[in-house]
Structure 1
Amino acid sequence: MINKRVFVAGLAATMLFSACKTKDLKMDVTKEEDSKNKKVVVYQVFTRLFGNKNTTNKPWGTIEENGVGKFNDFTDKALHEIKDLGVTYIWYTGVPHHALVRDYAAYGISNDDPEVVKGRAGSPYAVKDYYNVNPDLAVNPANRLQEFEDLISRTHRAGLKLIIDIVPNHIARKYEGKNNPEGVKDFGADDDVTVEYKRDNNFYYIPKMHFEIPDNDIPLNGEKNALVDGVFDENPAKWTGNGSRKVKPDQNDWYETVKVNYGIRPDGSKDFSELPVGFDQKSYKEHFAFWQDKDVPDSWKKFKDIALYWTAKGVDGFRYDMAEMVPYEFWSYMNSAIKMKNPDAFLLAEVYNPKEYRNYIRLGKMDYLYDKVETYDKLKDVIRGKSSPDGLTDIQKGMIDIEHNMLHFLDNHDEQRLASPEFAGTPERGKPLMVVSTTISTSPTMVYFGQEVGEAGNENAGFGTRSRTSIFDYIGVPNHQRWMNEGKFDGGQLSESEKSLRDFYKRLLNFSIKSPALMGSFEEIQTVNRQNNAGYDELIYSFVRWSENQKLVIVANFSSDKTSEFDLKIPSGIIEKWNLKDGEYTLIDQLYKKSSVLLKVINGAGTARVKIAPSESFIYELK
């Protein structure tokens, strides 16, 4: 949501860095032969924008004016090209039916009040019906669920897996479960609305008070609409999604949503069984068994049923919005149930509080969390001239026990585009960030569609603001559209620089998913090289990765204008671990296969003469 950044900024200000005490900064070597121990690459697509060929881009434009993409735009060719980029998972963002301003009454869908919808196309995180999909995405809205099921089949046929969003913390103010399976009651159907809180209520209430539209809310930019009358019928008023208990939420609150009650009393205490001491070491099967005889809040059951519904349809996992606003006991309950149905389910959570990372991984049974507050924020500070890259080493050290669980990204629907002036400034300056983000740990890498062709998010879409590709409006994504080339998906309209950029991403991602060393050990060499090393600029960062059969030396130059030349030092401890004798060895860059340097090992320590241009990176492999 557009106000999530405000919430996160406030939360981040109170965070404390959680570091693990360890003498050696390294990762355990994994079995190279194990197919599960391969680098994962997630390609996030905003589903309604991906296939849109319309280039009008009128602020606040309608579907007719600005166009919209469909499930069917993900053709076999499109999916093949995505996989060929080096992708293993697609995250289809915005699939569940969410509130939007468009008349689908002919399909049995009620119209949404624009006063509680953000933008015209609506927020994907204000879900209106969890048992169906967004009608905007279907060629035939009456057949929308089947069209998505066909996309699931095409995705799997292309050799890819897919995840979709589940947003347990909040739902649309006007939720209507018109497609509930037999026996499933709607959210709030059995709530006692005379009290603020009851454990099995699905919502929190402000008894005897009517909801009021926020001040300064100008739906549809002032356009006339029959439902825009200054009133939204919600009596009694419910708490707003971000936890606001006001009858009239602030314009910066998540006013289009209501908060779901998970058995957390208004004073913050828990009204359900807690996990026993030691359950952070238990398997998902033991977590599942624990909950079998427990009476849990009704909202827990509803969301577990939703997750299992989509799992049964072939969805391979979920991305959970603002997971830290929901207790990790619930996640234990739901995630263990999902894993019992699909042990390989990919469970990714949006969590921003480092103090809680381990609770959500070990107690909540999450596979992966966003590495936003640590690695992402550090890399952004480095490229914006606010920090040196040295601190990346401390970040790796602090998360050594959970580094695999921390998904890396430089671009997503919430953040400023990597190529935007507000971030890296150019796609080329984003390259060294991408190399380091992808190769520094065993964690999954995520790319946001258009990132690989330099999309900068320059459009004024309406409710959304430039530097971020709008998630609230009907809009085209120019760089991506040039790659899409009217549905040919062949890059036919890309400039030479955009083609070169996509080639860089393709080389990097494909190397990463095949490299055993990137699932092996890590050790920093930054410290030794920053000490008395002429030419080793403060914006250089280097480290090594290795497995039994592959040794890598990775060097990145974050400077946009300075070429550096220096003798890169490989400490004796690493030379010893690599079992290298005194002598000369060749290091060959694996990105372009055109650059090589000589590693000289003398008296058990190594040096290699490296010359690196601005925004350049090398992934040297020992031959």
Structure 2
Amino acid sequence: MRNLKSKAVFNTLRYCVLSAASSVLILGCSEPQKNTQASHQSEPQSTQAAVSKPVVYQVFTRLFGNQQTTNVPWGTVEQNGVGKFADFTPKALQEIKALGTTHIWYTGVLHHALVTDHSKFGIAADDPDVVKGRAGSPYAVKDYYNVNPDLALDPSQRLAEFDALITRTHQAGMKVIIDIVPNHVARNYQSMSAPDGVKDFGENDDTTRTYARDNNFYYVVGEDFKVPVSPDYQPLGGEPHEQSDGQFSESPAKWTGNGARAAQPDINDWYETVKVNYGVKPDGSYDFPRLPADYAQRDIQAHYEFWQQHELPDSWYKFRDIAYFWLNRGVDGFRYDMAEMVPVEFWSFLNASIKMKNPQAFILAEVYNPALYRDYIQQGKMDYLYDKVGFYDSLKALMQQTGHAQDVLAAQHSVQDIAKHMLHFLENHDEQRIASAEFAGDARMGKPAMVVSHLISKAPTMLYFGQTVGEDGSEDAGFGKPSRTSIFDYIGVPAHQAWMNGGKFDGGQLSQAQQSLRAYYVKLMSLSTLPVVVAGNLLPVVVDTDNAQAKQRVMAFARQYATQRMVVASNFDANHSHTVSLSLPNDWQQNNNTTVRDLLENHPVQTIEDGQITINLAPRASVVYLLED
């Protein structure tokens, strides 16, 4: 990132905004690429020089380019099809970039356990008894040094094809994120592609002991693994398969990924995976140095130097080397699965190692316990965490017409000291689709929610593929239940396929309603370059109304950066319009008789009178007013 002073950046961006004001749509201007590394220290407003708010586009790589529409439950790759790295054409990437995307999270890239037979390429099929679905879970990685053969036109050249995708993504002006899953690996982990000298997980383990510091796994000594059984579940939906016999050879049995210690895990355990040992003893005590408390305020260099003084468990070094391998191939960052199940000290070690190699690396983690947020940000040196418990959950309730606008604001204020580190989303591979009957039943409910989610803080925003065209996740793919687009089986994604339009990526098969929805997202996400969106502080706006339902369903807030001020209001009521008066922050009263224009939905120009703006919001409508002195 260029060393630009904030005033210069603000003036340039202000010109971008004002140049587009006549057409309302904010398109942004060409500016130096933003360093997305999050600071772990308090940043004075005067030194913030960011020019774009990070936007992560999560795509389930296997599904993105699939054009087949058969959608047979438990269907084979021949029946239901599979997308390829090559489907991310320059045109596809251009359309992803149009959503304001700065980073693409390619989910399911690493070689994970799957039933499909690629033996002619020297890749053995996995046992269905320890694979969820037919295409397999992306979080049961079996080779950290290669990629999923399903995703390549030529599986023997799969790593080269992914390298080419990294290059195309960079050429399109975006960065690449992939998953690392440190808590567990596939039960049948076998790296066929590890560099010379790299030992497999468990290769040097002492399997006569339940625990040893440098073992990679925990063992059920003296017992063999037994496949879990259930009257309600059969691998591949009961389809005959030569390896589907209720048997899998593992002696001694290993602890299961979610920490289950039985030789025969329960069917609801993560039985397809095994838990990685980081030097945490079975009684929960630690077999490694604790990080001093004051390191929460110390920088990456200090964290890195601290760990250089100690000999650490073998698993720590294995994952550091895996991260280095992918950084060296051009990957720009990582999303960590279930990070809270791994000690925070390990994250200090790994993230410091990554940042010393690439200071701009983008680090995102899945942590669901709010009591751990600050530890994993300040001591673990995570850039960003999911803001799921609290913000997303309260926003979802409001979208479902059961929550209250004040609950969402309260959730945001509960993390205000770390707000810039709390990534916002409405959909991802774990969550129900907005349009599903089990969630909101209407993709349009994502409009007010996305306005709030995207504009309320400095933190990155994440979009999930298919979200912008109203994908409803209703397909019965096999393993798991509809409402979430399947991550375990081969399946076509209908609304997304309509946008893909046979590889043209022009939305040619979308309905008018779907086209309108995507256009709304494009317009909203274009606001990512506004300085007040990038770096503005959150301020309160009072919704004045005697209507109790309006009080519950209309949410409003303000943000300010330098002389740029923004007022946002959204009506989450699915059926009723509401007229409300917005009382602006007290120190904005000098804006009386100022006219304001809506940047998003072209609502009529309004005048601020006595510190208030009175508006009428249709169901699911929002306003985004920009005030500049």
Q: Do both share a fold (TM > 0.5)? A: yes
> Mapping of 1:55-70 within 5 angstroms?
55-70=69-84
What is the one-letter code of the residue matched to 1:612? Answer: L
Structure 1 residue 430 corresponds to structure 2 residue 446: yes
> Can you give the 5+ residue segments of structure 1 that lack an aligned partner in the other structure?
1-26
What is the one-letter code of the residue matched to 1:290? Answer: F
Deviation at 1:310, TM superposition (A): 0.2
What is the one-letter code of the residue matched to 1:454? Answer: G
Deviation at 1:28, TM superposition (A): 7.3
> Mapping of 1:345-494 within 5 angstroms?
345-494=361-510
Structure 2 match to 1:100 = 114
Structure 1 residue 111 corresponds to structure 2 residue 125: yes
The counterpart of 1:246, out of the listed 262, 267, 292, is 262
Does 475-484 or 212-221 show the bigger shift? 212-221
Structure 2 match to 1:615 = 620
CA distance in 1, matches of 2:523, 2:145: 39
Structure 1 match to 2:293 = 277
**Against the structure 1 CA distance between its residues 515 and 533, is the aligned structure 2 distance closer, same or farther, given a 3 Å change threshold?**
farther
CA distance in 2, matches of 1:85, 1:571: 31
Q: Are 2:277 and 2:315, in contact at CA under 8 Å, matched by a contact in 1?
A: yes
Structure 1 match to 2:599 = 590
The counterpart of 1:220, out of the listed 207, 215, 236, is 236
> Can you give the 5+ residue segments of structure 2 that lack an aligned partner in the other structure?
1-41
Deviation at 1:392, TM superposition (A): 2.0
Structure 1 residue 203 corresponds to structure 2 residue 217: yes
Q: Are 1:38 and 1:516, in contact at CA under 8 Å, matched by a contact in 2?
A: no
Q: Are 1:524 and 1:544, in contact at CA under 8 Å, matched by a contact in 2?
A: yes
**Against the structure 1 CA distance between its residues 586 and 29, is the aligned structure 2 distance closer, same or farther, given a 3 Å change threshold?**
farther
Structure 2 match to 1:182 = 196
**Against the structure 1 CA distance between its residues 141 and 31, is the aligned structure 2 distance closer, same or farther, given a 3 Å change threshold?**
farther
CA distance in 1, matches of 2:134, 2:142: 15
Structure 1 residue 78 corresponds to structure 2 residue 106: no
CA distance in 1, matches of 2:529, 2:184: 35
The counterpart of 1:43, out of the listed 57, 61, 64, is 57
The counterpart of 2:569, out of the listed 555, 572, 579, is 555
Deviation at 1:535, TM superposition (A): 8.8
CA distance in 1, matches of 2:523, 2:45: 23
CA distance in 2, matches of 1:105, 1:594: 60
Deviation at 1:515, TM superposition (A): 4.0
Structure 1 match to 2:536 = 520
State the secondary structure of the residue aligned to 2:335.
Answer: strand
TM-score by length of 1: 0.92
State the secondary structure of the residue aligned to 1:357.
Answer: helix
**Against the structure 1 CA distance between its residues 248 and 325, is the aligned structure 2 distance closer, same or farther, given a 3 Å change threshold?**
same
Deviation at 1:532, TM superposition (A): 5.7
Q: Are 1:29 and 1:547, in contact at CA under 8 Å, matched by a contact in 2?
A: no
Q: Equivalent pairs: percent with the same residue?
A: 56
Deviation at 1:549, TM superposition (A): 3.4
**Against the structure 1 CA distance between its residues 608 and 337, is the aligned structure 2 distance closer, same or farther, given a 3 Å change threshold?**
same
**Against the structure 1 CA distance between its residues 290 and 534, is the aligned structure 2 distance closer, same or farther, given a 3 Å change threshold?**
closer
Q: Are 2:544 and 2:582, in contact at CA under 8 Å, matched by a contact in 1?
A: no
**Against the structure 1 CA distance between its residues 230 and 104, is the aligned structure 2 distance closer, same or farther, given a 3 Å change threshold?**
same
TM-score by length of 2: 0.91
Structure 2 match to 1:156 = 170
State the secondary structure of the residue aligned to 1:529.
Answer: strand
The counterpart of 2:248, out of the listed 220, 232, 246, is 232
**Against the structure 1 CA distance between its residues 561 and 178, is the aligned structure 2 distance closer, same or farther, given a 3 Å change threshold?**
same
Does 217-226 or 54-63 show the bigger shift? 217-226
Structure 2 match to 1:22 = none
The Cα offsets for residues 44-93 of structure 1, whole Å up to 9 and x where unpaired, read as: 00000000000111101111100000000000110011001211110000
Q: Are 2:401 and 2:572, in contact at CA under 8 Å, matched by a contact in 1?
A: no
The counterpart of 2:525, out of the listed 509, 523, 529, is 509
Structure 1 residue 34 corresponds to structure 2 residue 43: no
Q: Are 2:544 and 2:581, in contact at CA under 8 Å, matched by a contact in 1?
A: no
> Mapping of 1:331-346 within 5 angstroms?
331-346=347-362
Q: Are 2:102 and 2:174, in contact at CA under 8 Å, matched by a contact in 1?
A: yes
**Against the structure 1 CA distance between its residues 33 and 195, is the aligned structure 2 distance closer, same or farther, given a 3 Å change threshold?**
closer
Structure 1 match to 2:182 = 168
Does 83-92 or 45-54 show the bigger shift? 83-92
Structure 1 residue 315 corresponds to structure 2 residue 331: yes
Deviation at 1:308, TM superposition (A): 0.7
Does 222-231 or 206-215 show the bigger shift? 222-231
Deviation at 1:508, TM superposition (A): 0.7
Deviation at 1:570, TM superposition (A): 1.4
What is the one-letter code of the residue matched to 1:197? Answer: Y
Q: Are 2:74 and 2:478, in contact at CA under 8 Å, matched by a contact in 1?
A: yes
What is the one-letter code of the residue matched to 2:369? Answer: N
CA distance in 1, matches of 2:531, 2:525: 10
How many residue pairs are counted as aligned between the two chains? 585
What is the one-letter code of the residue matched to 1:34? Answer: A
The Cα offsets for residues 75-128 of structure 1, whole Å up to 9 and x where unpaired, read as: 011001100121111000000000000111122212210000000000000000
Does 246-255 or 388-397 show the bigger shift? 388-397
